[in-house]
Amino acid sequence: MDDTDQDIAISRPLGDAGESFAAWIPGKEERNDMIEVAAYHIAERSGFTISPHDCWAAAEQQIDLMFALRESKKKLQTLVDTALDAVVMMDSEGRITGWNRQASQIFGWSQENILGQSIHTTIIPPRYRDAHILGLKHFLSSGAGPFMNKIVEIHALHHDGHEFPVELAIAPVMTEGKPEFNAFIRDITERKRAEAELREMATTDFLTGLANRRHFIDKMIDELARLQRLDTPYAAVLMLDLDHFKHINDTHGHAVGDAMLRHFATLMRGELRRIDTVGRVGGEEFAIILPGASSDEAKIFAERLRQKVETTPLTQDGQVIPITVSIGIAVMKATDASADTPLTRADEALYRAKENGRNRVEIAARTILAN
């Protein structure tokens, strides 16, 4: 088309304006058909004062933008559908408006069954529901919320009723003047399991399953801090050593020695309260914390354990292998300089128990407790 065509204003046709305008527009494919309709509407809205060339160019731009947007939406939908995270969309009334495939995978709800339902009765555990409702109301009134645009760890509710840990990020958006919420949710069950296993490896003696020395000392530090914070009078600390353990290892072998350590650990566990802590702090040395126990109460406990060990030998491969234990007791006080102080006193009492014939209980030198 030459420049003359661009300068000619389009007069409103007396007959079928669509046909006369369409006759100028080339092409019969889908895209051209759509541009044709759009160009005619542009010309009509202008009173047919815009040149056909400009109408076509404007319509072409609109249709190409529409195709690009359609393609963009397809790509976005593909990204959402194939995302490793669950994508859940919610309106301002708490109804679920969007739900991708991964959401169905981790929550157990199909898209058909979940869309339109209230989010707080479907995937939020009961103990969080009141807080969710209040938090939504607070955001709608103030535009602020503790979970918005942050990554937090929380528990979610599966369709079958079990809870599981998730990592959650919520992004609020405005759609047609109304707030909506996009939640990106990742199931972190396996990560939490791996973290728990690592913590257990870091804090547990692999042979006996008891607290290792480092973790036991941490528990001692916690108990001392508790005494100082609550002004509780005392706690008892016990040091225990299996008698003649080297002879057992040398005579029966290390496999039997390991079995003996596990056997002793089982006997101790059977005597403990839930608040007590037992740990393996050396080869055949163990320690126990008895919160709130006096030296007299600790001695009763220790004597009961000593007798149980003496009367419960290890049976291994048809062999009955007796064992005894020596125990030293000390009292942990709020005035102790560190957690090592009562442990040292208990160790000194343990040494005295061994010096005095083994298979016995000794208490560290008593000190007067301040009122």
Residues belonging to the active site: 284
Count Cα atoms within 13 angstroms, Cβ side, for 277. 24
Give every CB contact of residue 267 below 8 A, 6+ residues apart in sequence: 305, 308, 309, 312
CB burial class (10 A; 0-12, 13-18, 19+) of residue 357? exposed
Task: Give CA–CA dist 266/286, Å, rounded.
Answer: 12
Nearest to residue 24, comparing CAs of 6, 337, 140? 6
- Cβ(342)–Cβ(367) below 8 Å: no
Taking the alpha carbons at both ends of the chain, their separation in whole angstroms is: 107
Give every CB contact of residue 182 below 8 A, 6+ residues apart in sequence: 87, 88, 89, 98, 170, 171, 172, 173
DSSP 236-278: EEEEEEETTHHHHHHHH-HHHHHHHHHHHHHHHHTT--TT-EE
Task: Give CA–CA dist 324/318, Å, rounded.
Answer: 20
Nearest to residue 285, comparing CAs of 338, 222, 353, 219? 353
CB atoms under 10 Å from CB of 53, counted, come to 17
